[in-house]
Amino acid sequence: FIYTFAGLKNFSNLMIILKMKKTFLYLALASIALVSCKDDEIEVIPEIDITTQNTYDDQAAQEFLKTHYFDSKGNLKDFVATDTVNVKLADLVPAPVVLPSGVIYVFRPGAQPDPGTVIGDTDVIRLMSRTTSYVATSTDGVVKFASASTFKDGIAGAGVPEVDPIYYYVKKSVKDAAKSDIAKQSSYYEIEGFQEALRKFKAYDISDESNYNLQGLIIVPSRAAFARDSHYNFDNLSYRNRSFVFNFQVYKTKTRVVPAED
């Protein structure tokens, strides 16, 4: 009886230990799940009516010009009120230009090719850029760009220009091969506001290995990008209501040979 009782007692202790281990295991798994959810968290911004979104886009773009400047390589940097050395984008000469579409372009002084090459509608371009998309929002009465997401970054990435990007010009062969009607449209791929403003600049004629010297800025409000339309899957992110800020240099262009390159 004594041995039996001792055996039961040991068995009971064993069960308690196993239950404790199981509890710790569940807690550990729960912690991992919480961390994973936090890591995958994406800022969700409630959608507003389209008229208000368009107004926010324009206001946020102007705020961006007042709060950023070009550094010595043309990269965008945050401007602080105590800065007495750098010139914010809004105060540059020549001044930022706002097109009827709402697109804004800014020439960086002293960084334009001379004479440079005119950029054609269907040219094959070699583009070095650091491009970010945002959603314009109002917080505590202040409208500005939020929810930043990198669209393209050749500077921090491979360090070489992007060749013939589909968001500037989509080849006919790509559209012809598409399965859906919407994917057969140029607007499914191309950022029209970017096309419009880029043609205000001229291209350099330098090799891909040349060090970059960014020549300017283009801000494309969402209505001149994809607005609320379907679009090509660039990187598994929806660009609905997103504005784009292109900080770039056109390394080189060439006339597209059709149909050989189309």
Q: pLDDT tens-digit profile of 126-148?
A: 999 999 999 999 999 999 999 99
Q: Stretch 109-129: mean pLDDT, rounded?
A: 97
Of 29-38, 115-124, 222-231, the range with the lowest mean pLDDT is 29-38
Band (30; pLDDT cuts 50, 70, 90): very low
Give CA separation, 171 vs 22, 74, 157, 185, 260, in Å.
Answer: 58, 31, 25, 11, 11
Q: What pTM did the predictor assign?
A: 0.83
Q: Which of 86, 254, 242 minimizes the C-alpha distance to 163?
A: 254
Of 91-100, 150-159, 211-220, the range with the lowest mean pLDDT is 150-159
Q: Stretch 19-45: mean pLDDT, rounded?
A: 44
Give the pLDDT confidence of 48-69 residue by residue, as tens digits: 999 999 999 999 999 999 999 9
Band (43; pLDDT cuts 50, 70, 90): low
CA dist., res. 202 & res. 115, Å (int)? 8
Give the pLDDT confidence of 182-200 residue by residue, as tens digits: 999 999 999 999 999 999 9
Identify which has the larger pLDDT, 29 or 118. Answer: 118
Identify which has the larger pLDDT, 32 or 21. Answer: 21
